[in-house]
Amino acid sequence: MDFVTKHAKNKKDNSSIIFKSVIAKEAKAKDKSVINATIGMLYDENEEFYTFKSVKDVDLSLNNEQKFPYTNSVGIKPFCDAVAKWVFGSYYDYFKEQENLEVIATPGGSGAISNAFSNYLNPGEKVLLPDPMWTNYTQMAYENHLGYTTYKMFDDNGNFNLQDVKESIINLQKEQNRIIFVINDPCHNPTGFCLERNEWQELINIINKLASKEHPIILFYDMAYIDYDKRGQEFTRQTISDFRLLNQNVLTILGFSGSKTLGLYGIRIGAMLGITKDKKASLEFLDSCQYSARAKYSMCSTYGMYLIAKVLGEEPYLTNFKNEIKEVSAFIKERSEIFINECKNVNLKTEPFKCGFFVTIPCQNDEAVYDYLVTKKVHVAPVGNAIRVAICSISKEHCKLLPKLIKEALLKA
């Protein structure tokens, strides 16, 4: 007897990172010497879960009315305002006054991606995704009755592959009118790659040339890790300021992650911010995504929204949080330098890395490498012909140790 639809029959959650992280967590609970480098969450040098003090201080200040009641599908105004000001930084006034800007609360950055996929392509059309990528993009596409195609992120010199992006958009425009182009930057998951500002400016030129009334482009900017870019907040917001150069045939959706920026992983709170020069497109963004919010998950965590509204919108929490972000970015940078230098010492190749939570090592048999490392009490994430190491969750000591063990695993597998 068939009860589920044909579409549902093909559903099987193969999110190996989640499965492997559960295994790693259970192993570490039994044996503290286990190294768990599977999951993208912040841990301190003792490999204990890291919580921002400013977030804890706000938590203690919230009353029951700010934690437990229903709110609305869009999100409370203090949250939406605080997120927009944080995302756009010193350029907030420009985007608020000169562009059409709307903000909608979502259950993490994932909710923003899913809402965009469901509202901007027709069933059977394809999303344009990066290769390599965070593989849950493909699962979200399937859930929304979409296919996907990819562009190559890197050219032969390890630079961002602007030419392949251009060709991929042109080829997909032959099949469908609208394009959703997804880019995860900076601190790309899973590689830690970051675009330079001149690469972003050239990318914007490409998008402007290819976008038209007949072929509008939706740029989905997955900025989950933006606040851990070693170049600092002002640099990353200068990049965002260049979105003002996109023409009226482009809608930009920025996916903000409260999980990554504030360490609120389990609370599931984020936002999608839409900017466009087209007023009608802005109203459609608000209406369609608010409708999706109500239909899919009703509304987001009131508790999470008030936490973020106060941390990012009120003093002294905001100043304290900015200082904490700098401190965390510094220790992640230190870990990454240790790891990458040790990779060079043992001649271990990585995907192009600049900064962020993860480093990725290409390999022919990722599952065999994973299995060997488990015998050495090391847990990493197989991601398809590569393994991903979450340097955000391991100590400097383990960052120095792992490259040699991984090199050994590559030779043994």
pLDDT in tens, 88-101: 999 999 999 999 99
Q: What angle do CA 303, 308, 312 make, to 5 degrees?
A: 160
> What is d(CA 271, CA 314) in angstroms, rounded to the nearest whole number?
19
Q: Is the pLDDT of residue 253 over 80?
A: yes
What is the residue whose two structure tokens read 């870990």? 335
pLDDT at 15: 66
Q: Answer for the pair 312, 82: CB distance below 8 angstroms, yes or no.
A: yes
Q: Is the pLDDT of residue 397 over 80?
A: yes
Domain span(s) for CATH 3.40.640.10 in the chain: 63-313
pLDDT in tens, 110-141: 999 999 999 999 999 999 999 999 999 999 99
Q: Is the pLDDT of residue 63 over 70?
A: yes
Both tokens assigned to 111: 């909710």
Q: How far apart are the first and last CA of the chain?
A: 43
What is the residue whose two structure tokens read 């847990």? 379
DSSP 15-27: -HHHHHHHHHHHH
Please choose, from the candidates 82, 126, 102, the residue with its C-alpha nearest in 3D space to the C-alpha of residue 253.
102
CATH superfamily of 6-52+319-412: Aspartate Aminotransferase, domain 1 (3.90.1150.10)
Work out the number of other CB atoms within 10 angstroms of the CB of residue 175. 11
Q: Say which residues have a Cβ less than 8 Å from residue 370's Cβ, sequence separation at least 6.
A: 20, 379, 380, 381, 382, 387
> What is d(CA 379, CA 358) in angstroms, rounded to the nearest whole number?
14
- Residues shown for the chain: 413
Q: Answer for the pair 145, 8: CB distance below 8 angstroms, yes or no.
A: no
Q: Is the pLDDT of residue 5 over 90?
A: no
Q: Is the pLDDT of residue 87 over 80?
A: yes
pLDDT at 23: 92
CA-to-CA dists, residue 91 to 3, 49, 198, 217, 308, angstroms: 52, 33, 19, 23, 20
> What is d(CA 257, CA 226) in angstroms, rounded to the nearest whole number?
9
pLDDT in tens, 189-247: 999 999 999 999 999 999 999 999 999 999 999 999 999 999 999 999 999 999 999 99
pLDDT in tens, 8-44: 888 887 667 888 889 999 999 999 999 999 989 999 9
Q: What is the DSSP letter of 248?
A: T
Cis before 132 (ω within 30): yes
What pairs with residue 362 in β-bridges?
386
**Position 1 confidence tier, pLDDT thresholds 50, 70, 90:** confident
Q: Is the pLDDT of residue 57 over 70?
A: yes
Domain span(s) for CATH 3.90.1150.10 in the chain: 6-52+319-412
Q: Say which residues have a Cβ less than 8 Å from residue 379's Cβ, sequence separation at least 6.
A: 20, 21, 23, 24, 27, 28, 34, 35, 36, 37, 38, 370, 373
What pairs with residue 103 in β-bridges?
273
Where does residue 396 rank: exposed (0-12), middle (13-18), buried (19+ CB within 10 A)?
A: middle
pLDDT in tens, 306-356: 999 999 999 999 999 999 999 999 999 999 999 999 999 999 999 999 999
pLDDT in tens, 376-395: 999 999 998 999 999 999 99
**Position 173 confidence tier, pLDDT thresholds 50, 70, 90:** very high
DSSP 348-402: ---S---SSSEEEEE-S-HHHHHHHHHHTTEE-EE-SSEEEEEGGGS-HHHHHHH
The highest-level CATH class for domain 63-313 is: alpha beta
Query: Dihedral of CA 190/196/199/204: which sign?
Result: positive
